[in-house]
């Protein structure tokens, strides 16, 4: 699939104020700084579309981007950023949870995992919560450019093994880098195939 147009639509703290209509949407979630906004820029080929930062906690709202005038990519705030303080963390958690649980248009959630790290409790708990709430999701390993082949493959198989302790069937997964565009075609094709199914 080619992305021919990508436009910022709206930012929101309130799920009720997200765009009306029935366009399907694909949301990106994960720990603060895992690379959600960078991945959205890589996928759309628009460098400054989603705001990125080397310091965690950049994205604070639900951001809608209209793609090819017919579906949305949604950039969500990251979870687990300690420096926000208890109140700040609760606010963000509230935004994330209400979006995921209430947004009917959300067709698939991409859960981003830093490919450099051993499985982290915070991500595993979040994935478990998705399961409890029957949220459709896929895993996206990020920052693959930062690891050499052997370690990358090791980390990914270790992660999948960990997930197998929780899940009978593994979710779809993708290995990506926003630096060298690894995984771009696979992710875009995946979203296109879901869009096609929805239009049948
Ligand atoms: P929050 O909005 O704070 O939750 O963060 P985010 O998940 O949107 O992360 P963001 O895209 O802002 O990226 C965080 C940092 O990681 C930035 O310094 C990016 O340049 C860097 N980064 C993101 N993706 C990649 C990648 O694939 N490779 C490398 N080398 N760096 C990356
Ligand atoms: Mg961000």
Determine the pLDDT at residue 47: 92
pLDDT digits (tens, 9 = 90+) for 28-48: 999 999 999 999 999 999 999
Ligand 2 centroid to 110 CA: how many Å? 14
- The protein residue whose alpha carbon is closest to atom 20 in ligand 1 is 54
Ligand 2 centroid to 76 CA: how many Å? 7
Ligand 1 pocket: which of 53, 77, 115 to mutate (most atoms within 8 A of CB): 53
Helix (H, G, I), strand (E, B) or coil at 74: strand
Q: Would you kindly state where each structural domain of the chain is located, as residue ranges?
A: 6-199
DSSP 186: H
Determine the pLDDT at residue 60: 85
What top-level class would CATH report for the domain 6-199?
alpha beta
Ligand 1 pocket: which of 178, 180, 182, 184 to mutate (most atoms within 8 A of CB): 178
- Indicate if the pLDDT at residue 199 is higher than 90: no
Question: Token digits for 98?
Answer: 């209400």
Ligand 1 centroid to 197 CA: how many Å? 31
pLDDT digits (tens, 9 = 90+) for 150-192: 999 999 999 999 999 988 899 999 999 999 999 999 999 999 9
DSSP 65: E
- Indicate if the pLDDT at residue 105 is higher than 80: yes
- What is the rounded distance in angstroms from the CA atom of residue 137 to the CA atom of residue 144? 20
- What is the rounded distance in angstroms from the CA atom of residue 120 to the CA atom of residue 80? 11
The Cα diameter of the chain in Å comes to 46
DSSP 172: P
Of 37, 31, 142, nearest to 80 (Cα)? Answer: 31
- The protein residue whose alpha carbon is closest to atom 12 in ligand 1 is 52
Average pLDDT of the residues in 89-93: 89
Determine the pLDDT at residue 149: 76
| Residues within 6 Å of ligand 1 by CB | 32-38, 52-54, 56-59, 77-78, 142-143, 145-146, 177-179
Determine the pLDDT at residue 113: 98
- What is the rounded distance in angstroms from the CA atom of residue 183 to the CA atom of residue 39? 10
Ligand with minimal distance to 47 CA? 1
Number of Cβ within 10 Å of residue 137's Cβ equals 18
Q: Cβ neighbours of residue 183 under 8 Å, at least 6 residues apart?
A: 140, 144, 174, 175, 176, 177
Number of Cβ within 10 Å of residue 47's Cβ equals 10
Q: Cβ neighbours of residue 69 under 8 Å, at least 6 residues apart?
A: 5
Average pLDDT of the residues in 1-14: 94
Ligand 2 centroid to 151 CA: how many Å? 26
- 56 pLDDT band, cuts 50/70/90, is confident
- What is the rounded distance in angstroms from the CA atom of residue 34 to the CA atom of residue 60? 14
Ligand 1 pocket: which of 27, 31, 41, 52 to mutate (most atoms within 8 A of CB): 52
- 59 pLDDT band, cuts 50/70/90, is confident
Ligand 1 centroid to 87 CA: how many Å? 24
Half-sphere exposure of 126 (CA within 13 A, CB side): 23
């Amino acid at each position: 699939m080619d992305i021919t147009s990508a436009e910022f639509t709206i930012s929101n703290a309130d799920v009720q104020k997200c765009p009306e209509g029935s366009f399907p949407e694909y949301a990106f979630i994960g720990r603060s700084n895992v690379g959600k906004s960078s991945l959205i820029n890589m996928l759309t080929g628009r460098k400054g579309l989603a705001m990125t930062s080397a310091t965690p906690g950049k994205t604070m709202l639900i951001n809608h981007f209209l793609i090819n005038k017919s579906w949305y990519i949604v950039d969500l705030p990251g979870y687990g950023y300690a420096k926000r303080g208890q109140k700040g963390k609760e606010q963000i958690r509230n935004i994330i949870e209400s979006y995921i649980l209430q947004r009917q248009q959300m067709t698939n959630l991409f859960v981003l995992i830093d490919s450099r790290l051993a499985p982290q409790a915070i991500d595993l708990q979040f994935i478990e919560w998705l399961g409890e709430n029957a949220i459709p999701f896929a895993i996206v390993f990020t920052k693959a450019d930062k690891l050499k082949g052997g370690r990358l493959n090791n980390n990914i198989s270790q992660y999948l093994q960990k997930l197998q302790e929780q899940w009978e069937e593994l979710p779809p997964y993708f290995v990506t880098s926003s630096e060298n565009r690894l995984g771009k075609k696979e992710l875009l094709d995946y979203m296109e195939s879901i869009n096609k199914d929805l239009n049948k």
